[in-house]
């Protein structure tokens, strides 16, 4: 087990500086254009693939970093560049985590490479969990998967929404209901291979922020996939469902993790790191502006009203990063989240990003409200962190339930 440390080692520093350079030289110059276009920045993703950032090898190296800091470090630097483009680069990772969290070794080896493609033929993947009537309330999920035993196939029907890369992905990972009586315990995850009949893109959303990231509905109409596309396999699913039914009969309130929650628990600290990157970027712009912008014959940072805001901004950013790093270290080292530390990290970092970017706009004044300065875009982008992969309200609910042991509603 790696000891917890706040100091990156030499190798991590080298990777951090490399990512920072890519974010500064490639992502930032393209940020405003792709935000305005509201399209997937394929040329930037391809550049990331060429240098090895958008690849299974890079993601695996960071994911399995024994300190747990590889992924949050990478997320912070890329999202410091731009949240929309960065999400287009790392969005495939959520689907990959879904396979890593629930799949067999064979499934991991088969499907994750197909999610990324290669530098000459870049692909993306999508993780599809939310539905029009089932966002935070995963127990209300309506997408169904029915097993056709004669053909050893699963038949999926339903509509997913808010899917990053939904409809344009090479591989979709879809969470569906296999036993409606068990609520969220009756869910399973499925791989939908490329060009599978019945899967189509529905509405593409025009968003407030992260506009360079493709977000859309995914419609499933009698989508048939082979039995081996059930993540974890049918034997494991049958065992899990049997245990859940036994607990239900006995009135046992012990919780059983469902497929979507396993993915979200693994990814929440990473989302916190994204928020830290955006907050840090806005803070740095505001700090530089405050040092050079003069009013009444002196830089505005000479005024306590501005200086104290910057002090609070930096303090909150550093505190958020520490919470993210702690949760990431705990996760990789098998430490249980006894106080919902993963949710804590996402909650605090997300709220910090919204507050810090708003303060940055305020410090820049009228300039901050225009698209001539990047804090306007950063402020729009920051809103998503308190919404996706569990709203701030859901994070508070998870934390409160964990601390109290009560089924708080």
So which residues are the catalytic ones?
389
List Cα–Cα distances, 130 to 197, 211, 219, in angstroms. 21, 19, 12
CA torsion angle 120 124 125 131 (round to 10): -160
CA torsion angle 339 345 350 355 (round to 10): 90
Length of the chain (residues): 409
Instruction: Check residue 191 and report its DSSP letter.
Output: E
Count of alpha carbons within 13 angstroms of residue 124, beta-carbon side: 25
* Rounded-to-integer distance, Cα 19 and Cα 345, Å: 22
Contact by Cβ (8 Å): 365, 350:
no
Output phi, psi for 296, to 5 deg: 55, 35
- Burial class from Cβ neighbours inside 10 Å (0-12, 13-18, 19+) for residue 110 reads middle
* Rounded-to-integer distance, Cα 262 and Cα 166, Å: 20
Instruction: Check residue 2 and report its DSSP letter.
Output: P
* Rounded-to-integer distance, Cα 27 and Cα 39, Å: 14
Name 79's Cβ contacts closer than 8 Å, sequence gap at least 6: 86, 87, 273, 274, 275, 276, 277, 278, 281
Nearest residue to 198 (alpha-carbon basis) of 255, 245, 145, 129: 145
Output phi, psi for 112, to 5 deg: -65, -40
DSSP secondary structure letters along 206-259: --SS-TTS-EEEEEEEEEEEEGGGBTT-HHHHHHHHHHHHHHHHHT-------H
Name 9's Cβ contacts closer than 8 Å, sequence gap at least 6: 67
Question: What does the H/E/C string look like for 258-290?
Answer: CHHHHHHHHHHHHHHHHHHHHHHHHHHHHHHHH
Q: Which secondary-structure segment (H or E) carries 384?
A: none
């Amino acid at each position: 087990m790696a000891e917890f440390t706040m100091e990156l080692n030499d190798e991590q520093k080298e990777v951090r500086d490399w990512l920072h350079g890519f974010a500064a030289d490639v992502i930032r110059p393209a940020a405003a254009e792709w935000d305005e276009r509201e399209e997937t920045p394929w040329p930037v993703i391809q550049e990331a693939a060429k240098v090895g950032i958008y690849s299974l090898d890079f993601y695996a190296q960071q994911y399995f970093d024994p300190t747990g800091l590889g992924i949050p470090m990478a997320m912070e630097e890329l999202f410091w560049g731009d949240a929309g483009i960065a999400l287009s680069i790392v969005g495939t990772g959520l689907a990959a985590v879904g396979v890593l969290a629930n799949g067999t070794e064979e499934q991991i080896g088969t499907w994750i490479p197909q999610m990324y493609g290669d530098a000459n033929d870049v692909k993306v993947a999508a993780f599809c969990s939310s539905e029009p009537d089932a966002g935070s309330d995963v127990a209300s999920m309506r997408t169904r998967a029915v097993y056709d035993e004669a053909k050893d196939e699963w038949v999926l029907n339903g509509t997913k929404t808010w899917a990053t890369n939904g409809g344009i992905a090479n591989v979709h990972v879809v969470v569906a209901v296999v036993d409606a009586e068990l609520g969220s315990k009756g869910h399973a995850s499925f791989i939908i291979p490329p060009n599978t009949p019945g899967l189509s893109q529905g509405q593409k959303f025009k968003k407030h922020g992260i506009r360079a990231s493709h977000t859309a509905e995914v419609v499933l109409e009698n989508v048939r996939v082979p039995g081996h596309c059930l993540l974890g396999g049918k034997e494991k699913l049958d065992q899990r469902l049997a245990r859940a039914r036994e607990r239900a009969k006995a009135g046992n309130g012990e919780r059983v993790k469902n497929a979507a929650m396993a993915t979200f628990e693994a990814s929440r600290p990473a989302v916190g790191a994204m928020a830290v990157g955006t907050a840090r970027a806005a803070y740095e712009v505001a700090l530089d502006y405050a040092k050079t912008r003069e009013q009444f014959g002196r830089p505005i940072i000479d005024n306590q009203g501005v200086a104290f805001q910057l002090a609070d901004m930096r303090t909150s950013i550093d505190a958020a990063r520490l919470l993210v790093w702690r949760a990431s270290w705990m996760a990789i080292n098998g430490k249980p989240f006894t106080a919902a530390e993963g949710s804590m990290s996402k909650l605090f970092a997300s709220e910090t990003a919204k507050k810090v970017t708003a303060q940055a706009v305020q410090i820049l004044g009228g300039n901050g409200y225009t698209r001539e300065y990047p804090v306007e875009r950063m402020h729009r982008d920051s809103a998503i962190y308190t919404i996706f992969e569990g709203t701030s309200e859901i994070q508070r609910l998870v934390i409160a339930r964990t601390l109290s042991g009560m089924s708080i509603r």
